[in-house]
Amino acid sequence: MKKTYRLAVLAAALLPTMAMAESVDLNVIGTIIPTSCIPAFAGGSTVDLRKISAATLNPTTQTLLAGRDVSLHINCDAPAPVEVSVRDNRAGTKLPGISDGAGQSDPALFYGLGDINGTPIGGFALRHGIPETDGNAQTLLTRTLAVPTWRVPTSTLVSNAPQLYSWGASAATGPVAARHHGFPMHLLPIIGPSNALPIANEIPLDGSVTFDMFYL
């Protein structure tokens, strides 16, 4: 009992010293950030149609040139659903009465190629392929903010804004979340009648569209 008592007194004597020791704080900080997605075109964002011989152009009607494949890829740091719209940066230069040669002539489905001395050179269309997410084929969906219900588009061509596009298993289930989104398209260039163009000189083509991506 005596030994036990002495140990207890020693411990009690040390407690005030321990209470007076220095202290340090541990702070826990951080930031919750939203999912980030980056859109880009495979092979770059410029489609070069190269030199087009004026002799190959129809003098009285439009000429459809050989198409080019383009593909929009959207990579996200976490699975996310997205939608895109297309803005024509050369809308005022679209050839009047332009069509894709397959019966589609709605002006909203075409984009300008620039003009020469105020005369529209032609235009182009974007025929959509089958979108994919993380390697899985999906169904193309479309809507507008005014009519926000998703549906399957009736046209094979990608329309100007305000039309919005996304992809998923069906219109009923809506857009799917994924890390990678792929939207393949086929660009269809069209040149107007050559008798309306100054083909004695070189004519530069100047088409430009902006793909806007939105998070859902």
**Predicted local distance difference test score (pLDDT) of residue 5:** 37
Q: Which CATH architecture has domain 2-215?
A: Sandwich (2.60)
- pLDDT-based confidence at residue 16 (cuts at 50, 70, 90): low
In this predicted model, what pLDDT tens digit does every residue of 67-93 receive, in sequence order? 999 999 999 999 999 999 999 999 999
The pTM of the full predicted model, rounded to 2 decimals, is 0.86
Whether the pLDDT of residue 128 is over 90: the answer is yes
Vertex 127: Cα angle to 121 and 133 (nearest 5):
140
- pLDDT-based confidence at residue 22 (cuts at 50, 70, 90): confident
Over residues 103-115, the mean pLDDT reads 97
Domains of the chain, residue spans: 2-215
Nearest-CA neighbor of 92 among 73, 109, 113?
113
